[in-house]
Structure 1
Amino acid sequence: MAEPDATDALLQELLWTYGPCGQEDEVRAVCARELQPVVDDMWTDDAGNLVGYIAAGGPPKSTDHRHRATAGRSAATRVMAHMDELSMLVKRIEPDGSLHLTQLGTMYPGNFGLGPVAVLGEHETFTAVLTLGSEHTTKESPRIWQTKPDKGDQALDWHHVYVFTGRTDDELAAAGVHPGTRVCVERSKRTLVEVGDYVGCYFLDDRAAVTALLKAARVLRERGRRPADDVYVVFTTNEEIGGVGGSYASASLPGTLTLALEVGPTEREYGTTVGGGPIVGYSDALCVYDKDVADRLMEIADDHGFEPQAAVLGAFMSDASHSKANGVTPRAGLLCLPTLSTHGYEVMPRRSIDAVAEIVVDFVVQPDETRSGATR
């Protein structure tokens, strides 16, 4: 890959950092390091979300902005990107030290492949191997036989695979491994590759959007620009298992609009392509996004010459749509980086992070009555 710039370097650091659902501490630490110098205030809320506050009129004189505003009295905007990644959960430990897993988020063994995994024990993180077993087997090994295309022809699933640890029960206990321990795709499989004008890696969902949101906050500070209304940039937890952190932040922070930054599927059924511009969601599986918000995002992207793609998405959810479906935000928007093979080995244009950051900056800076709806 070409010599990385600051954005590439940050994205790579985030990709190498483990952040399974409910255990996003290391990702949060990287985000906090980058966010603290460019916001007016920063804190971690009770859901584990990292929140940065950017005041419309300059640095605040109190911490009142940390508390929920009276309904209908704040035009603040919450912009979210999630810190968690698809991962695995230890279901049981066998006497030989092997681990049986289940998914944490919508994750399938075939999407991420057999090979090295990181076991995040309470006292030690170590490398193990996700394996199916030998292909040189017959019906006497039914678990393997079932997955052969010319035999059982079943899709590879969690009950077929296991993790070889090379450790005894006692050694696993000493490392702090037990049912509920998180297991992640190992760092050696999480290095960005360059594919022409594109980059590829596992877990661009949602580390690329996190990078874009951090960049947007930095650009605002470097250009000396203030948002038209207060802005909360929120790096959320547990998005992959129900938008938990985002819903909590929408319910507890001032404001009536939640804008989610995400990876966006590029498929014929949506009329989107990975070679196109940022994707603006008009609906997904959980909600219809506010048309005026989506239209505004499209307009800004058009003004920049980014060639945005409008999309009506199925089998897709975001922090914003979870928040709207849960009744904790009245207004929601979705802005996506166009991404090939979402929830797999993801590929996106190198330019997409910068493009999404620029759209976010203009969206929060440029006064526009539609962004605040009836609350103005």
Structure 2
Amino acid sequence: MTTDDRQLLQELLHAYGPGDQEHQVRAICSRELTPLADEIDVDASGNLVALLRGSDPDAAPVRVMAHMDELSMIVKRVEDDGSLRLSQLGTMYPGNFGLGPLTVLGDTEEFTAVLLLGSEHTTPETSQVWQTKPDGGDQAMQWSHVRAFTGRTPGELAEAGVHPGTRVCVHRSRRDVVESGDFIGSYFLDDRAALVALISAARLLRESGRLPVADVHLVCTTGEEMGGIGAAWASRTLPGEITLALDVGPAEAEYQVPASSGPVISYADDAAVYDKVLADHLMALGCELDLAPRAAVWEAYDSDASRSKASGQAARAALLSLPTLSTHGYEVQHRETSGRVARLLAEFLARPVPPKTG
């Protein structure tokens, strides 16, 4: 990862981007893509769409997507003591993020709260703690067990614009990139590292003087963690039949994907079977570039591309995954992962996309 890409990743990680409130992330992506694109716009779903014009006006356009939203929380209710009861936006649990500081994105004020379970020095009378103790109920910690302490009264929270539906995010102080040997770690590499790869691919094409064959719509999407909402809209409204997504993929033994491997090309997940011709083409290009690509069939997984195909908004779908440890938790990637994916994506866009054969 270059120094510039590392700085961009850190800036993206510090930006809050809960579902349907991704404007901080979108502003950074817009700044980076504007000098690289022929046109740039924000569509009705809040997606940022950057057009790279291709060399062949007769080639079918391609849509490439990486999502801006992050796993986050939403206020379910405000309690009489000023604490907040939370629910999840996306598939995550309190244990994934741990107890600690949060940022409450009130309508008129952004402020710090703390996610609490309760004291370990308690008995069964403090039921939410007891239920999660190994010598108590031995239950996995759920959202019903925890609360967000605000230190404010309900009236003060109302003045700050806090109500059911207010978004709550992991605090910025817990979103710094850390290094561990050849690896980096942080919350929300899903999907900020993929956004870096998407932007880097556009930069590689521009700096090399190469044009994509077909018109390419680079789409920074909204609401992926809530069901691929922005991607479905973009796949429906933008021209072309191909949607290719960039997203993290689980670096786990069951998929034979190590965290140090090159880009992972998926052939299927829980939502759809990916286009085999496109997947084979990506694998061949990855081998040609000596990127050590891996093939995988993901389970307990779907993406912007597979959801678009499953909903009938994309005729052909492909997925480039960034091998990642601890997905939907404190995530870890090899420092070269986003750069490898960027190189493969740039090459894919500069080569003719094979036609569908069967």
For Structure 1 versus Structure 2, the TM-score category normalised by the shorter chain is over 0.9
Indicate conservation of the 8 Å contact 2:106/2:166, yes or no: yes
Match of 1:128 in 2: 113
Q: CA deviation at 1:220?
A: 1.1
Match of 1:299 in 2: 284
Q: State which of 254, 257, 260 in structure 2 corresponds to 1:275.
A: 260
Match of 1:67 in 2: none
Q: Which amino acid aligns with 2:268?
A: S
Indicate conservation of the 8 Å contact 1:74/1:255, yes or no: no
SS in 2 for 1:128: strand
Q: Which amino acid aligns with 2:10?
A: Q
Q: State which of 45, 51, 55 in structure 1 corresponds to 2:43.
A: 45
Asked if residue 85 in structure 1 is aligned to residue 83 in structure 2, the reply is: no
Indicate conservation of the 8 Å contact 2:244/2:317, yes or no: yes
Pairing of 1:318-329 with structure 2 (within 5 A): 318-329=303-314
Q: State which of 100, 109, 129 in structure 2 corresponds to 1:115.
A: 100
Give distance in 2, aligned partners of 1:37 and 1:373: 33
Q: CA deviation at 1:107?
A: 1.1
Deviations 1:112-168 (A, max 9, x none): 100000000001110110000100000111111000012110000000000000011
Paired residues, number: 357
Give distance in 2, aligned partners of 1:306 and 1:229: 24
SS in 1 for 2:6: helix
Pairing of 1:195-274 with structure 2 (within 5 A): 195-274=180-259
Give distance in 2, aligned partners of 1:283 and 1:271: 15
SS in 2 for 1:300: helix
Q: State which of 26, 29, 41 in structure 2 corresponds to 1:28.
A: 26
Deviations 1:68-101 (A, max 9, x none): xxxxx86111000000000000000011100000
Q: CA deviation at 1:57?
A: 3.2
Match of 1:177 in 2: 162
Q: State which of 102, 108, 126 in structure 2 corresponds to 1:141.
A: 126
Give distance in 2, aligned partners of 1:119 and 1:326: 34
Indicate conservation of the 8 Å contact 1:74/1:254, yes or no: no
Q: Which amino acid aligns with 1:359?
A: L
Match of 1:16 in 2: 14
Give distance in 1, aligned partners of 2:182 and 2:282: 24
TM-score (norm. length: structure 1): 0.93
Match of 1:6 in 2: 4
SS in 2 for 1:159: helix
Q: Which amino acid aligns with 1:281?
A: S
Q: CA deviation at 1:367?
A: 2.2
Give distance in 1, aligned partners of 2:254 and 2:205: 36
SS in 2 for 1:200: strand
Indicate conservation of the 8 Å contact 1:246/1:320, yes or no: yes
For structure 2, the 5+ residue unaligned runs are: none
Q: Which amino acid aligns with 1:327?
A: G
Once the two structures are aligned, what percentage of the paired residues are identical? 58
Give distance in 2, aligned partners of 1:198 and 1:304: 22
Match of 2:356 in 1: 373
Indicate conservation of the 8 Å contact 2:49/2:219, yes or no: yes
Give distance in 1, aligned partners of 2:256 and 2:339: 23
Q: Which amino acid aligns with 1:373?
A: K
Indicate conservation of the 8 Å contact 2:322/2:337, yes or no: yes
Moved over 4 A (4+): none
Match of 1:313 in 2: 298
Q: CA deviation at 1:365?
A: 0.4
SS in 2 for 1:38: coil
Give distance in 1, aligned partners of 2:189 and 2:332: 8
For structure 1, the 5+ residue unaligned runs are: 61-72
Give distance in 2, aligned partners of 1:218 and 1:138: 58
Q: CA deviation at 1:362?
A: 0.5
SS in 2 for 1:342: coil
Match of 1:69 in 2: none
SS in 1 for 2:347: helix
Q: Which amino acid aligns with 2:25?
A: V
Indicate conservation of the 8 Å contact 2:259/2:333, yes or no: yes
Indicate conservation of the 8 Å contact 2:59/2:213, yes or no: no
Asked if residue 159 in structure 1 is aligned to residue 144 in structure 2, the reply is: yes
Match of 1:339 in 2: 324
